[in-house]
């Protein structure tokens, strides 16, 4: 399957997920199509590039598996936010392992400083609204996702290619998704948040997964 075919499949499943969130008669479909969309992205990472057995590829696949676990945890009845946050933190660590090798020192510094500054500004903005028991987990998560994005951008600066461009774009869109989630949950809830953050989340994951294929 080509890029457009995969994008159409993932996009259709993502669109149903978003519609199900807002439409009561489709609400049960949300619990099917949200993890299904991530499964389709994982399938892209697994099967769209047959024979791809590099550490880079398997680290991204592991990150998608942890992301799927995080999706499920955040949908379960009850409060599983910390567990879901932990699953996504592990996903970002996997992405860091995928993107970090081979980054030049100057490229890494050029990408790390602005991403950490952005993360710090975000945490400062949210801090007073975050429950005390969640402040350390949220701050740790912000640091890890900022490092993940810095590694992806640093890889793009060091080795420009279709793969590194897709990974860097995906990482930045993923950061945007989590920023929307945090603002909506802790600071300023708004109706369009879920649609926007799911769009960014699935787009970011799709681009990161596609970076495996485009590198071969």
- Measured distance CA(95)–CA(151) in Å, rounded: 9
Q: Are 60 and 53 in contact (CB under 8 A)?
A: no
For residue 186, give the DSSP letter.
I
Cα–Cα distance, 76 to 84 (Å, whole number): 10
In this structure, the chain runs to a length of 216
Assess whether pLDDT exceeds 90 at residue 187: yes
Closest CA to 43 of 91, 94, 100, 5: 5
pLDDT tens column, 110-156: 999 999 999 999 999 999 999 999 999 999 999 999 999 999 999 99
**What is the DSSP track for 93-160?**
HHHHHHH-TT--HHHHHHHHHHHHHHHHHHHHHHGGGS-HHHHHHHHHHHHHHHHHHHHHHHHHHHS-
Tell me what pLDDT residue 194 has. 93
**Alpha carbon distance 213, 200 (integer Å):** 20
Burial class, 198, CB count within 10 angstroms (exposed 0-12 / middle 13-18 / buried 19+): buried
Q: Is the dihedral of CA 68, 72, 74, 75 positive or negative?
A: positive
pLDDT digits (tens, 9 = 90+) for 92-115: 999 999 999 989 999 999 999 999
Give the integer Cα–Cα distance in Å for 31 and 97: 30
Taking a C-beta distance cutoff of 8 angstroms, is the pair 205, 24 a contact?
no
**Placement of tokens 């860091």 in the chain:** 96
pLDDT in tens, 43-70: 999 886 655 678 889 999 999 999 999 9
């Amino acid at each position: 399957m080509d890029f457009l075919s995969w994008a159409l499949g993932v996009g259709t499943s993502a669109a149903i997920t978003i519609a199900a969130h807002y439409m009561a008669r489709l609400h049960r479909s949300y619990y099917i199509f949200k993890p299904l969309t991530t499964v389709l992205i994982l399938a892209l990472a697994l099967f769209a590039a047959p024979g791809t057995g590099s550490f880079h590829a398997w680290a991204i696949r592991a990150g998608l598996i942890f992301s799927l676990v995080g999706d499920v945890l955040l949908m379960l009845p009850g409060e599983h936010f910390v567990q879901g946050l932990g699953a996504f933190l592990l996903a970002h660590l996997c992405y860091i392992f995928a993107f970090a090798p081979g980054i030049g020192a100057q490229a890494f510094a050029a990408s790390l400083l602005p991403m950490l500054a952005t993360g710090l500004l975000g945490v400062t903005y949210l801090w007073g609204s975050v429950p005390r028991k969640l402040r350390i987990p949220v701050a740790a998560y912000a640091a890890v996702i900022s490092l993940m994005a810095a590694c992806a951008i640093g890889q793009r600066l060091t080795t420009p290619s279709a793969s590194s461009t897709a990974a860097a774009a995906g990482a930045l869109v993923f950061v945007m998704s989590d920023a929307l989630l945090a603002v909506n949950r802790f600071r300023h809830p708004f109706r369009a948040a879920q649609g926007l953050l799911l769009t960014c989340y699935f787009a970011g994951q799709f681009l990161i997964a596609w970076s495996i294929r485009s590198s071969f």
